[in-house]
A = this chain, B = another copy of it.
Amino acid sequence: MARPSRWDDVVRSAARVFRRRGFARASLEEIADELGMWKGSLYNYISSKEDLLVAVVKVPAERLIADVRTIRDGEGTPEEKLRAIVRCHVDVLVDIYDFAAVYLYEAAASDLGEQWRETDREYTSAIQGVVEAGIAAGDFRGDRDPHLMTMTLLGALNWLTRWWNPQGDLGPEAVTDQIADTVIHGFAVPAPVTAQT
């Protein structure tokens, strides 16, 4: 499916506008304006506004799910894997901020169909798989709900799009380390109390 040459520009512009204004508020005219074209011309690239949303959302979704699959199926302790997942998430924000923000905040609100929900479910359950492996290995507490644990991590990560400026003082490494540390220590089985007396 050979896309016309400016296809990438179109999607990038859509990502920017969707993040800034939200999908519902964004108008195709705004996107066309950014590209210096007329809104009618966009229909040489898409057949509906939703096409654009799907295209935008695909970028971080495919990258994240590929990364998380690789991590899940690769070597390393559950702790190391969680840390790697956090790093991927933060990297995505650094690399393709607009796309990621749209992915996290607009995709759920719009109804992108079954295929979309399936992808989302797989992403979540891949992370949850790591969490459950940690529990099984005795590293993470077994008295917690694994889904809640997974969502706690995802919430902390996704909220970054609301407040974090990747170009600001707090760099990606610090964010990665600190969130990963917090979650890993938060999940960990506590050190035996008897040892401290």
Contact = CB atoms under 8 A, between A and B. Distances in A.
A7 interface: no
A112 B196 CA distance: 52
Interface string A167-187: 000100011001101111111
Interface in A140-197: 144-145, 147-149, 151-160, 162-164, 170, 174-175, 178-179, 181-188, 190-192, 195-196
A109 interface: yes
Is chain A's binding surface mostly helix, strand, loop or mixed? helix
A95 B175 CA distance: 33
Complex copy number for this chain: 4
Contact of A182 (B22, B147, B187): B187
A135 to B, nearest CB: 13
A25 interface: yes
A137 interface: no
Interface residues of A, number: 42
A34 to B, nearest CB: 19
Interface in A81-136: 105, 108-109
B178 A144 contact: yes
Given A25-B24, A181-B186, A151 B174 contact: no
A159 B154 contact: yes
Interface of A: 22, 24-25, 105, 108-109, 144-145, 147-149, 151-160, 162-164, 170, 174-175, 178-179, 181-188, 190-192, 195-196
